[in-house]
Amino acid sequence: MTTTTESTKTQDEAQIRQLVADVSSAICAKDVDRIMSYYDRDVVFFDVKPPFQTNGADALRRIWEECLPYFPDSFGIESRDLRVSVSGDLAITHWLNRFTGMEPNHPAMQTWLRFTSVSQRKQGRWQIVHEHGSVPFDPHTSQAVFTLEP
């Protein structure tokens, strides 16, 4: 028999998994309002590209508004190795993403991006309060490593 705590934890993990999927779907739709609906007002975002650190939802919105026009009209996001850990009103998630459906030589198609996200339940709704995206690099050359083998 499943205890209430185990059931709640399973339900919370499912909600966080859905949150990750919903953000990816909003990015693919290039819907900035929908993307931002998943982020807390005071979010801190460490990105793979400059400015590398963005503080607050207004600044993150500007980043999305500036970069989404560079994406093709149609593309997808493939995720793998999604791990979720929930404790009370905090959840930590990490996973790999890569873009799909773009021209094979498009720079965004050349590697898996690594993400870590911290979400907090506020007024019954999960919001992303911190997110970190990164690209692997070679410490000997200080160059990004583009590989489709994570």
> pTM for the full model?
0.90
The answer on pLDDT for 141 being more than 80 is: yes
Among 45-54, 69-78, 82-91, 103-112, which stretch is predicted with the lowest mean pLDDT?
103-112
* CATH topology classification for 4-144: Nuclear Transport Factor 2; Chain: A, (3.10.450)
In the three-class reduction of DSSP (H, G, I as helix; E, B as strand; rest coil), residue 148 is classed as: coil
Do 99 and 74 contact (CB within 8 A), yes or no? no
Do 25 and 1 contact (CB within 8 A), yes or no? no
CA distances from 143 to 48, 102, 105 (A): 13, 23, 18
Q: Where are the domains of the chain?
A: 4-144
C-alpha triplet 79, 82, 137: angle, nearest 5°: 70
For 22-66, write each residue's pLDDT tens digit: 999 999 999 999 999 999 999 999 998 888 999 999 999 999 999
